[in-house]
Structure 1
């Protein structure tokens, strides 16, 4: 089979597997939401039930003041799960997926999905101020990784299925299929091409259909038509939305920093992990109890969608109270995640953006009614600004917010405001809420995906040095004394004519300088046996093979199979690839020279 045929077959296989990943991501979102419902009803109401609408406020708990301990009990269960089974399940999930993509070759442990689902459902269901999107992204990505590892797929296919699982998960959670694709492209995919995007499209579409069978096709949030006061776009309103964007860009920076400030604070406490999380969730428990006692609702517990829905339907209008809720949500999210919970950061960002956006518009409309800022529209814009500023996924924020609300009137303000909010946060810090966790570990990510056309070139085009073929029983004495200064490799042919090993010019030079015995067999200098690859394979695929195998030598043959030494097309070393991928250098092909086994030694 030709290289083109192999690539086409691999792409078809990846697309078919993406369909399976999408099914699992969709079912995973359904099961995860059911698990949250079960835990929430058990912890707050003391009953076994799967009936739970996140858009409706939770009824007062039957435990009364004892509801303060509900998040505490949940905290103890979460720490047990995380410490004993999967430390990767701690936190908001997406940084661990990014870590697996960039630093672990797309390998995620199978147990992470189960532990993440259980730990996050307990954190959310017991009142922790976190979202459900981060966990389902990690769950979907984990299945994609498991499937690829089980089938022993190359690295590019593993990474693609991880992105497909993550995109499918968030698409199913919010009913945002387009947003899921763009999220995967902005945050998870390391290669933008048809072979990676098509599987992501398949997975997100499939996951959305599966979730729609259970949840229906309605948007995540419902905006009654009467609450939208046209026109939504005017020159003055764009000025107002721009001011809101600047404000939320600053809040996005604060939100990103506050989670890690809280984490550092709890890490400095001279107590164990159990007590750290108990302390954090005890404060959250007291907060939600006081809110219920004074105002009749818990407001900030869990994903907080009920509060967002009240703002969007126009029933929550007190600006001062909305600012208070935004501050309490910021504090409770920082305490929840900083002390050791498991859950996402997307939903709290939506909450903070909606409350501050509506409060801002209410104040501006009272002071400068000529700006025509409607609190509902401003809440929608605020949601997108907070997500775009904190996560760095600006396009995702615009598209997903539009899909979640289907409010056509704010599309242009969304584009303008999110861009500005992103730039404000970017001017204050380069890291996002996802990448800061990795940067604190010393793991630096590329700032952008760049088009590297050389990655599509054939592997044989990167071969820099010629080679000669020698018998496997040849020794150093069979080489001229000048060989150590020559940039030529030696392919050793075994008794059967096959490749027994490869000795690089560098190894010959080292042997000469260390005054190795002339009787030293060349086979002793060959080191690790090389891998085999097709001469016309794309270099991007070969890099994945080298990275996965840990081997630094590749013998290029016609079809990538082991072949007689006479059929070798070239020898590619790790140094060749590094030199060729240095964008500061000019890529050029050096003709490959080869001699026969019985040929001259020159």
Structure 2
């Protein structure tokens, strides 16, 4: 992996992974007995579900309170998310409401919990793979306040990411207080995250699948059962307070039309899935482009977010001035419901909504806001699906694609394309419609959207944030049998041997026109290898744009040499003991000549193919 070290702030704030042996010796009495009692662990999952369900309810109330305060100047928790907000009491002054809210958010995040910035889920994944599941308890409170202020004041972000992070943080905090084993702590984090999704959408199965697809590092009865208990409990608690209603009302008579779809309709669904995958890429790239530009242009975080939210305020006010509704502010559920009610069908207006939502969402989070990406993804998917159906019916009227059905399918596709949770997206919309007939179109669109995004990049909107820190997350979960296989089976990238005097410009010319993955570069001094530039480091260097820098200046000599027939288990142990992240595979373990080097294997390669827990590869875990 990259030879660059993470920023000092990240390195300092990273908690030390607790030594399980020390914990085992240090726990006695009732805590020690509870840790060994499986029924108590299941009871903890039940408790996490109750707290996550109540947290989802209270968080919605808190968002309503902030919205009414910022828009109308009174304190009330009454607000219908499926109906558009009335005109603000401040008139044009509503432009400054997001600015005031944004300044409060920056103060909260900088003062109390920097990890509450952003969209939540990446921080949970980072805690699992890089911090042994340690999440500070204060994150629950700060995330709730910061995100509710951002959303309530008009910021265009979602509420699901914060709920996921809050549920996960509570699970982690409870496990830390009881000094549970690491696998139990990670299990409660997944239970809290899945319970948050289940409670906010009233979709318990989707909550389980979300935990399986994105959060769990182990899929077994001992991890799945607690997640199931927590999601079921959280859904029940949510229904007690909010009623047994789906997040969106999708007309049953419309969905039932998918019972007898024509071949032409399925052809249209295939095209929709591919196009939604492209929109998902635009959605993700826009967020990180905005984040890079704001950090490049403004060093002061208060000024950065204030200017970003000023742009959001101007946008929502102009939307109200010219269309009668704010449309793109907040979670945007009212606009999604308009699509599902068949109210929004004008292609031109749908295109405007699509572009503006992506823009204000990117600016809200990219300038330093706090909130989720799930709701904006559903918004963009619904609007794009309706836009696609409207254009399809105009140019190909015989296909007869329903705007409402296409909107629902677009929502599932956007979740799969942007977050990587393709199964969750499909099942979530199915649970909302409660009609089995739509399941095949959902599978088609969601899987193709996911595949289209994966064809271009393996990074999701969640993992890209971590990769930019040099933190890599495995794409899949595998059995530990991979530990027993030869290292050479995990060779991912090709190897390029170049002299140290070559420049980045020379490498770009050499790779131009080649249709293969970015190679690792073995930098040579004569015939002897002296340093390595890994594939992902090379991609970063290309983006930074320093073509005249030589490879000798960029290479890392922080590597170990291992025989090519070594088992992965032995390689992991060697990397940990040497505090290295790069291994050179050689015929006899000698490196006097570059021809002895057969390949380069990095920690990233191992994570992608073997899906090991990150803690197993941490040098400080030795």
Smaller-chain TM-score bracket:
0.7 to 0.9
Deviation at 1:238, TM superposition (A): 1.0
Identify unmatched segments of 5+ residues in structure 2.
Answer: 1-32, 485-568, 580-608, 611-622
Question: 1:67-106 counterparts in 2 under 5 A?
Answer: 67-106=94-133
In the alignment, is the contact (CA less than 8 A) between 1:229 and 1:374 conserved in 2? no
Distance in 1 (CA, whole Å) between partners of 2:359 and 2:377 is: 12
What residue in structure 2 maps to residue 133 of structure 1? Answer: 160
Distance in 2 (CA, whole Å) between partners of 1:11 and 1:243 is: 49
Distance in 2 (CA, whole Å) between partners of 1:211 and 1:410 is: 26
Question: 1:28-39 counterparts in 2 under 5 A?
Answer: 28-39=55-66
Distance in 1 (CA, whole Å) between partners of 2:205 and 2:255 is: 24
What residue in structure 1 maps to residue 362 of structure 2? Answer: 334
What residue in structure 1 maps to residue 304 of structure 2? Answer: 276
In the alignment, is the contact (CA less than 8 A) between 2:198 and 2:204 conserved in 1? yes
TM-score by length of 1: 0.74
Deviation at 1:10, TM superposition (A): 4.5
Residue aligned with 2:426, SS: helix
2:449 pairs, out of 397, 421, 438, with: 421
Question: 1:131-530 counterparts in 2 under 5 A?
Answer: 131-228=158-255, 230-231=257-258, 233-453=261-481
Deviation at 1:16, TM superposition (A): 1.1
Distance in 2 (CA, whole Å) between partners of 1:362 and 1:454 is: 49
TM-score by length of 2: 0.71
In the alignment, is the contact (CA less than 8 A) between 1:219 and 1:406 conserved in 2? no
* 2:137 pairs with 1:115: no
Distance in 2 (CA, whole Å) between partners of 1:254 and 1:407 is: 31
Distance in 2 (CA, whole Å) between partners of 1:187 and 1:223 is: 27
In the alignment, is the contact (CA less than 8 A) between 2:256 and 2:435 conserved in 1? no
Deviation at 1:228, TM superposition (A): 4.5
What residue in structure 2 maps to residue 18 of structure 1? Answer: 45
Q: Please, which moves more after superposition, 230-239 or 281-290?
A: 230-239
Residue aligned with 1:371, SS: coil
In the alignment, is the contact (CA less than 8 A) between 2:252 and 2:433 conserved in 1? no
Could you report, residue by residue, the CA deviation over 1:224-244 in whole angstroms, capped at 9, with x for unpaired residues?
Answer: 345447245322111101111
In the alignment, is the contact (CA less than 8 A) between 2:256 and 2:437 conserved in 1? no
**How many residue pairs get matched?**
458
Identify unmatched segments of 5+ residues in structure 1.
Answer: 1-5, 457-539, 551-581, 584-602
Could you report, residue by residue, the CA deviation over 1:73-112 in whole angstroms, capped at 9, with x for unpaired residues?
Answer: 1000000000000000000000000000001001000100
In the alignment, is the contact (CA less than 8 A) between 1:55 and 1:309 conserved in 2? yes
Distance in 1 (CA, whole Å) between partners of 2:73 and 2:298 is: 34
Distance in 2 (CA, whole Å) between partners of 1:89 and 1:214 is: 27
Could you report, residue by residue, the CA deviation over 1:427-449 in whole angstroms, capped at 9, with x for unpaired residues?
Answer: 11111000000000001111210
1:57 pairs, out of 81, 84, 93, with: 84
In the alignment, is the contact (CA less than 8 A) between 2:258 and 2:438 conserved in 1? no
In the alignment, is the contact (CA less than 8 A) between 2:35 and 2:180 conserved in 1? no
Distance in 2 (CA, whole Å) between partners of 1:454 and 1:253 is: 32
Q: Flag the 1:104–1:10 CA change in 2: closer, same or farther, 3 A.
A: farther
Residue aligned with 1:105, SS: coil
Q: Flag the 1:229–1:186 CA change in 2: closer, same or farther, 3 A.
A: closer
- The alignment yields a C-alpha RMSD, in angstroms, of 2.2
Could you report, residue by residue, the CA deviation over 1:533-569 in whole angstroms, capped at 9, with x for unpaired residues?
Answer: xxxxxxx9xx9xxx9xx9xxxxxxxxxxxxxxxxxxx
Distance in 2 (CA, whole Å) between partners of 1:104 and 1:259 is: 25
Find the structure with the greater CA-based Rg: 1
In the alignment, is the contact (CA less than 8 A) between 1:227 and 1:314 conserved in 2? no
Could you report, residue by residue, the CA deviation over 1:154-209 in whole angstroms, capped at 9, with x for unpaired residues?
Answer: 10000000000000011000101000000000000000000000000000000000
Deviation at 1:317, TM superposition (A): 1.4
Distance in 1 (CA, whole Å) between partners of 2:395 and 2:97 is: 43
In the alignment, is the contact (CA less than 8 A) between 2:255 and 2:438 conserved in 1? no
In the alignment, is the contact (CA less than 8 A) between 1:55 and 1:306 conserved in 2? yes
* 2:93 pairs with 1:66: yes
Distance in 1 (CA, whole Å) between partners of 2:37 and 2:125 is: 24
